[in-house]
Amino acid sequence: MKNSVLIIAFISIMATSCCNNRPQEDFIRTQDAIENIMSRKSVRKYLPKPVEEEKVQILLKAGMAAPSGKDVRPWEFVVVTERSLLDTLAEALPYAKMLRQAPLAIVVCGDTAKSSYWYLDCSAAAENILLAAEALKLGAVWTAAYPYDDRMAVVKKETGLPENILPLCVIPVGYPAIPHSPKNKYDETKIHKNRWR
């Protein structure tokens, strides 16, 4: 009996110790990875509610967890929360008008001095951010800057990016104002076994 009590006490201490050492984001309940991927949707209408700093940090950590060719990690992120800057970007970017409602945006950028294929690595980082937003019950949408010279010029100017840092996309983020449903994009005609047929 005494040994049983000691074993239970040991397990309890170990469980408490393990939980205390886990990253904070582990305590936010999220859905299964496959369910999360299938649930992702583009959200363009947001509540007038700020996104908590800890959730912003999780989004950025998710972005930086992306795969990267030769592990170069050429990404840089600009977190925009200034209302006037969000409004200026909304005015200047043709497909980012929802920035007027968004409480924040993450500009995913790449360092061209580190990698000539920065836009590939940064695309993976951007997708991770979108999936993390879905998991956190936030709404987000990819709005392209790259490869459009005019859009890239606006983002570079307004965010003060150095010459070697190019913007890939601007991701507005916020709490969804209305319910959204994911699109079923599965298409068997896009699948080719062994050879194109």
pLDDT in tens, 56-74: 999 999 999 999 999 999 9
Sign of torsion over alpha carbons 177, 174, 169, 152: positive
Domains of the chain as residue ranges with CATH: 43-178 (3.40.109.10)
pLDDT at 121 over 80: yes
pLDDT at 38 over 90: yes
Q: What percent of the chain has pLDDT over 70?
A: 85
Residue among 181, 189, 194 nearest 38 (CA): 181
CB-CB contact of 106 with 96 (8 Å): no
Confidence label for 5 from pLDDT (cuts 50, 70 and 90): very low
Distance (Å, whole) CA 139 – CA 131? 10
pTM of the model: 0.84
Average pLDDT in the chain? 89
Per-residue pLDDT at 3: 45
CB-CB contact of 61 with 55 (8 Å): no
